[in-house]
Amino acid sequence: MKKQLKDKSPKNNLQKNLRANLAIAEYDNFSLAFSKGISFEICKNKNLDLINQKNKKEYLQSILNSKAKEKLSLIQNQINYKLKSIEEHLLANHFLKVIDINFKNISRLVVGLGSEHVFETSLTLDYIWGIPYIPSSAVKGGCRAAAFREIVLLILDNLNKKESQKEICQDEIDEVAKYVFQNLYNEDIYFENYKLLDLSDIDKRILLYKLIFGTKNFEGLFTFLDAYPQNLSELTNIFELDIINSHYPDYYSNPKTNPAGDWYNPQPVNFLVVKPGVEFKFIVFYDQHRSEKLKKSFETESIYFELIELLEKDNFGILRNIVKTSLSFYGIGAKTRLGYGLFEILNEQGNSI
């Protein structure tokens, strides 16, 4: 028998590589396919300077059809076990679960869009299970941003009442936002025994949010957990494709020689998003042990003692409202100004003191 010669044609090799990579996307873990299974041939166009958007779209579509979605029911059981284990550990270490709320996204969700990725558009996926989740840092950051906006609006409302006949200009709004940002984000917390009367209502609110979210020199009294899906076994798919329509592709590739103009052909850029209808569980724990130690170190008339007491007597309603506002009004993740990342509340659980 004559030995068959291997086809070394670059075109045929390229097609084989593409088929092999599409197979990886269809059969493996979502996260592995999305982050590790992408070859050089899929990424680059013939000039090796831009992402090959056609190949990228085909690859992302193959992820949508992946057989990994058949394991979603099993993954859901593992997620529930993980959350239960974390809860038992925290409860055993004097933490109190104060928020346990299920939210369902009513618009597309994309967390981590700007993270480093070979496709230049990313999505945060769990490394082990490959399913989308919302990191605790994103949940906490979104809540802190909602708190920041609340304080800014309170100050502007007070200014409106004082200057009823004068419209507040943009410079004044910018100054208010700068003041709140500096105090809420940048300034550390110092535990002098201020009396409640020593601070204005706005400053008390800022100090309260510092106790909740923490500063550079103080760890906040609340622990936010990663938000994981809760209805995976009921879903046939959790992803869908979206596009960003680039109207100046030539300008972006080489701005020195290609001016920005309306004569270019738009270049759709596909990216992966979480489709609406996925239910996520948001859980927050309160560090009861640290808060008791803090209260014992203060005088009973200290501002910090009074603010911690306010949180507990209110049954943590202040934080609960911030979480609800953050998710249902402002949204979480990327492209929230365009309506992405919005949620509706489904049910609420949690213990009280």
Q: Would you give per-residue pLDDT tens digits along the chain (353 residues)?
A: 444 444 455 555 555 555 555 555 555 678 888 887 777 666 665 555 567 778 888 888 888 877 677 788 888 999 999 999 999 999 999 999 999 999 999 999 999 998 888 888 899 999 888 899 999 999 999 999 999 999 999 998 888 777 665 777 888 888 989 989 988 888 787 766 566 557 788 888 999 999 999 988 889 999 999 999 999 888 888 999 999 887 877 787 778 888 887 888 887 888 999 999 999 999 999 999 999 988 888 776 778 888 899 899 988 999 999 999 999 999 999 999 999 999 999 876 544 44
- Please, what sign has the CA dihedral across residues 225, 106, 240, 146? negative
CA-based nearest residue to 242, from 119, 331, 138:
119
Contact between residue 186 and residue 206 where contact means Cβ atoms under 8 Å apart = no
Q: What pLDDT shows up at residue 83?
A: 94
Chain-centroid distance, C-alpha 97: 21
pTM of the prediction?
Answer: 0.85
Q: What pLDDT shows up at residue 1?
A: 44
Query: Residue 62 is inside which H or E element, if any?
Result: helix 53-64
CA-based nearest residue to 132, from 63, 214, 207:
63
CA-based nearest residue to 341, from 103, 110, 131:
110
One-letter identity of residue 100: D
Q: What pLDDT shows up at residue 5?
A: 47
List strand residue ranges (DSSP E) for the chain, in order. Answer: 95-105, 214-215, 218-219, 222-224, 228-229, 239-246, 267-274, 279-287, 343-349
- The two tokens of residue 96 are 């109190």
